[in-house]
Amino acid sequence: RFRWPAHNRSAMSTQAVSEETAVVIGLEVHVQLETDTKIFCGCSTEPADDEAPNTRTCPTCLGLPGALPVINEAAVEAAVKVGKAIDADIPETTTFHRKNYYYPDLPKNFQLTQYDAPICANGELEVAVDGEPRTIGITRAHIEEDPGSLQHVGGSIESATHTLVNYNRAGTPLMEIVTEPDFRSPAETRAFLAKLEEVLEYLGVFDPGRDGSLRVDANVSLVDADAVAADGSVPTPVLESTNRAEVKNISSHKGAEKALAYEATRQRNVLRRGREIEQETRHWDEGRGVTVSMRSKEAEKDYRYFREADLPALEVADWRESIAIPELPDARRERFREAYGLDRESASKLTSSKAVADFFEDVATEFDPELAATWVADNLLGELNYRELAITDVEGRLDEFTRLIGLVDAGEVTVKNAEEVVLREMLDGADDPDTVIEREGLGKAGAGEVESAVDAAIDENPEAVTDYHDGDEGAINFLVGQVMQATGGSADPGQVNGLLREQLEE
Ligand code: ADP
Ligand code: MG
Ligand code: ZN
Give pLDDT tens digits for 311-334: 999 999 889 899 999 999 999 999
Nearest CA to ligand 1 atom 23: 239
Mean pLDDT, range 40-57, rounded to an integer: 96
| Calpha distance 52→73 (Å, rounded) | 28
Ligand nearest the Cα of residue 10 is 1
Rounded to an integer, the average pLDDT of 213-230 is: 94
Atom of ligand 1 nearest to the CA of 180: 16
3-state secondary structure at position 254: helix
Q: Which residue has the higher pLDDT, 355 or 488?
A: 355
Confidence check: pLDDT of 4 > 70: no
44-60 burial, b if ≥16 CB within 10 A, otherwise e? ebeeeeeeeeeebbeeb
75-79, 94-98, 428-432: which has the minimum mean pLDDT?
428-432
> Could you list which residues have their CB under 5 Å from ion ligand 3?
41, 43, 58, 60-61
For residue 489, what pLDDT is reported?
77
From ligand 2's centre to the CA of 118, what distance in Å?
A: 15
The ligand that comes nearest to the alpha carbon of residue 184 is 1
Q: Which residue has the higher pLDDT, 318 or 489?
A: 318
Mean pLDDT, rounded, for 142-166: 92
pLDDT tops 60 at residue 1 = no
Q: Are 500 and 492 in contact (CB under 8 A)?
A: no
Compute the distance from residue 26 Cα to the ligand 1 centre, in Å: 6
Atom number in ligand 1 closest to CA 223: 23
- Residue 292's Cβ-side half-sphere holds a number of Cα atoms within 13 Å equal to 6
Rounded to the nearest angstrom, the distance between the alpha carbon of 171 and the centre of ligand 3 is 7
The pLDDT tens digits for 368-379 are 999 999 999 999
* C-alpha to C-alpha distances, 302 to 136, 171, 240, 297, 443, nearest whole angstrom: 29, 22, 20, 10, 72
pLDDT for 490 equals 76
pLDDT for 6 beyond 60: no
Asked if the model's pLDDT at residue 9 lies above 70, the reply is no
Specify the pLDDT at position 14.
Answer: 46
DSSP states along 389-412: --GGGGGGGHHHHHHHHHHHHTTS
Beta sheet of 110-113, edge-to-edge order:
110-113, 97-100, 306-307
- Find the 118 Cα to ligand 1 centroid distance in Å: 17
- Lining residues, ligand 1, CB within 6 Å: 6, 24-28, 178-181, 219-221, 239, 242, 244, 300
pLDDT category, 447, cuts 50, 70, 90? low
What pLDDT is recorded for position 445?
67
Ligand 3 center from residue 107 Cα (angstroms): 11
pLDDT of the residue at 178: 98
Q: What is the pLDDT of residue 16?
A: 53
Residue-level pLDDT at 19: 66
**429 phi/psi in degrees, rounded to 5:** -125, -150
Question: Reduced to 3 states, what is the DSSP secondary structure of residue 258?
Answer: helix
| Centroid of ligand 2 to alpha carbon of 5 (angstroms) | 12
pLDDT at residue 18, as a whole number: 56
- Give the burial class of 30: count Cβ atoms within 10 A of its Cβ; 0-12 exposed, 13-18 middle, 19 or more buried: middle
Ligand 1 atom 11 nearest Cα: 26
In this prediction, residues 283-308 reach a mean pLDDT of 88
pLDDT above 60 (res 214): yes
The residue nearest atom 14 of ligand 1, judged by CA position, is 26
Tell me which of 178, 219, 234, 300 to substitute to probe ligand 1's pocket, judged by most ligand atoms within 8 Å of the beta carbon: 219
Find all residues with CB under 8 Å of 496, minimum gap 6, and list them.
450, 453, 454, 480, 483, 484
Q: Are strands 132-145 and 120-129 parallel, antiparallel or unpaired?
A: antiparallel
Nearest CA to ligand 1 atom 1: 6
**C-beta neighbour count of 488 within 10 angstroms:** 15
Q: How far is the CA of 28 from the centre of ligand 2 (A)?
A: 7
Q: Which ligand is nearest to the CA of 300?
A: 1
pLDDT(449) > 80: no
Phi, psi (degrees; rounded to nearest 5) at 35: -130, 165
pLDDT at 422: 93
Is there a contact between 245 and 40 (Cβ–Cβ < 8 Å)? Answer: no
What is the mean predicted confidence (pLDDT) over 272-280?
92
* ω into 5 cis (within 30 of 0): yes
**Residue 17 banded pLDDT, cuts 50, 70, 90:** low
Give the dihedral of Cα atoms 231, 232, 237, 238; nearest 10 deg: 140
Closest ligand to Cα 27:
1
Percent pLDDT > 70 in the chain is 96
Q: What is the DSSP secondary structure assignment for residue 23, as one 8-state letter?
A: E
Nearest protein CA to atom 24 of ligand 1, as residue:
221
pTM equals 0.82
Judged against a pLDDT cut of 60, whether residue 2 lies above it is answered with no
Q: Using an 8 Å Cβ cutoff, are 377 and 350 in contact?
A: yes
Ligand nearest to the backbone CA of 297: 1
* Closest to 24 measured CA to CA, from 14, 37, 10, 35: 14
Mean pLDDT of the chain: 91
Nearest ligand 1 atom to the CA of 300 is: 2
Task: Give residue 26 CA to ligand 2 midpoint distance, Å.
Answer: 10
Query: In this predicted model, what pLDDT tens digit does every residue of 94-151 receive, in sequence order?
Result: 999 999 999 999 999 999 999 999 999 999 999 988 888 899 999 999 999 999 999 9
Give the total residue count for the chain.
506
328 φ/ψ angles, rounded to the nearest 5 degrees: -90, 165
**What spacing in Å lies between the alpha carbon of 309 and ligand 3's midpoint?**
19
If you take atom 7 of ligand 1, which residue's CA is the nearest one? 6
Own/partner pairs, 58-67, CB within 8 angstroms, 24+ separation: 60/171, 61/107, 61/145, 61/167, 61/170, 61/171, 62/107, 62/167, 62/170, 63/106, 63/107, 63/108, 63/109, 67/41
Q: Is the pLDDT of residue 5 over 50?
A: no
Please choose, from the candidates 148, 58, 70, 166, the residue with its C-alpha nearest in 3D space to the C-alpha of residue 106. Answer: 148
